Structure 1
């Protein structure tokens, strides 16, 4: 379905939780946030979404602005715009529960921004091969998007991608080139609000999953030292495409993580209620 979120219309799919044995109260809810340019909510629909619903978790998946079936405005692509869309979506859906937000690649940047700027809405944060919106993130994002804007409208480049990465990747790359050359996304994503490099703005529990062969794995020491409640997992012999290539391991890690923290949050709420009525 499509739903109004501020000045745009967002395409969203919800998968209701199946009944889970021993479930008390409302089920937890997870929001899946996809990556930039060549991605959409479909990447979760065909990987994690249905399994989470079957495990007793309410699932929200949506297309980021400029992607999939959501609106593609000409401008308004700073990272805080994506974060505000996420919160506006929760409001429009009438979602009162604190959500477990999961972000893959750029989706993790958005998810981390939500955890930093709207902590009251976020129960846990999971980053899959992602980097928070810190100052150092802006430089390599700006450089990468500038190159993509130039090269993804070159038919020789698209043909090389088709021959070496397949027709589907070539099709998505062509779409990415159109987005970059018809909107201000490439100039805006990295130009907006950031959080401090020490990650002090993120206070919720964090699960961070990286591929051993990805450059983003270099963040592990910072995460482990700066985030008080953080678990990092490094998958051996794995590059950036963790979600697609290591789906089962990612699913199992995330299910355990979310159910564990949902139970802990409910126990804490129960203790608070008991204290309040004593």
Structure 2
């Protein structure tokens, strides 16, 4: 485990170096050369999540395909420091910027964000377009007024429910002692800092600011998710946006449809990792970039 102090907070960071069997240091499917491998930064979801979720989903496949993978626990999560305050969305954006500086990451990175991690990634792309090569949003959305209201509702309900002492023996009986302990750790997070108050109070983006994001954006949804209907709206705002909907999935597509998500995101990063030579140019993507996933193109 590595702790890196970034933006005044000790961040738990893990890296998986690129492992490409060709020895070229490039993503499989792109032109060969001596350039450093592309860097992908994986940002996890809020409260119940941490970087460990990527160890069992995207990270190993990405490193195996020739990407330099960076994962880190967001402030307050996992093994990162949990300050009593400082949980506005902008704080998370500044953490990412400072972390890339501390890790001396050269060149634009490919950001992959699951749920709240995608909101952080989108906000970062608006603030630092020079540092972002592409965005992949997994069951995520930009920080709008509607997003802030949803955050206020879900976090507020969580604070109230997790304060109920009878909840934990109920969970242990219905599920397991492990589940009960896990939920207790979530309660400690919500009750020991101002995260539940600050995130909904974060500055949101209007449509003009959302339109300012010019990097390639992939948005992947579960067909049964409440976020799926926003794909048309997002594509109407972003000129370089693609969407994909995975059938029979809700919000947890990272774990429920790992291979499909991995295939979609990997193809997106590969297509934007480098400008291929004339001999290795890839054809334009088809309407079905991964089995069982419906892709939508403008």
SS in 1 for 2:207: coil
Q: Is the 8 A contact 1:153 1:174 kept in 2?
A: no
Secondary structure of residue in 2 paired with 1:209? strand
Distance change in 2, residues 1:255/1:143 (3 Å): same
Change (3 A) 1:164 1:30: farther
CA distance, structure 2, for counterparts of residue 23 and residue 136 of structure 1: 44
Residue-by-residue CA offset, 1:26-68 (whole Å, 9 max, x unaligned): 1111000001111100000111111111100000000000001
Call closer, same or farther: CA 1:105–1:169 in 2, change over 3 Å: farther
Q: Which of the numbers 105, 108, 114 marks the counterpart of 2:124?
A: 114
Distance 1:148 1:201 in 2: 34
Q: Is the 8 A contact 1:206 1:231 kept in 2?
A: yes
Q: Residue 143 of structure 1: SS of its match in structure 2? A: helix
Q: Does 1:23 align with 2:42?
A: no
Matched, 1:42 2:42: no
How many equivalent pairs are there? Answer: 266
1:137 lines up with 2:138 in the alignment: no
**Is contact 2:37–2:66 with CA below 8 Å preserved after alignment?**
yes
- Go from structure 1 to structure 2 and tell me whether the alpha carbon gap of 1:259 and 1:187 turns closer, same or farther (over 3 Å shift): same
Q: CA deviation at 1:169?
A: 4.2
The 5-angstrom pairing of residues 228-243 of structure 1 reads 228-243=239-254
2:207–2:237 contact (8 Å) kept in structure 1? no
CA distance in 2, matches of 1:119, 1:170: 42
Once residues 42 and 34 of structure 1 are traced to their aligned partners in structure 2, the CA distance between those partners, rounded to angstroms, is 9
Q: CA deviation at 1:165?
A: 5.8
Q: Give 1 or 2: higher helix fraction.
A: 1
The one-character-per-residue Cα deviations of 1:114-145 (angstroms, maximum 9, x if unpaired) are 11111111111111011111121111101111
User: Contact (CA 8 Å) 2:44, 2:73: kept in 1 or not?
Assistant: yes
Matches within 5 A, 1:183-222: 183-197=193-207, 199-222=210-233
Offset of 1:153 from its aligned partner? Answer: 2.5
Q: Distance in 1 between matches of 2:148 and 2:175?
A: 27
Q: SS where residue 238 of structure 1 aligns?
A: coil
**Are the equivalent residues in 2 in contact too, given 1:212–1:234 (CA < 8 A)?**
yes
Query: 1:270 aligns to what?
Result: none
Q: How far is the alpha carbon of 1:177 from its aligned partner?
A: 1.1
Structure-2 separation of matches of 1:73 and 1:173: 20
TM-score normalised by length of structure 2:
0.85
Seen in structure 2, the aligned counterparts of structure 1 residues 189 and 12 have a Cα distance that, compared at 3 Å, is same
| 1:191 shift after superposition | 1.0
1:195–1:201 Cα contact (<8 Å) kept: no
Q: Partner residue of 2:257?
A: 246
CA distance in structure 1 between the partners assigned to 2:253 and 2:40 by the alignment: 19
TM-score by length of 1: 0.91
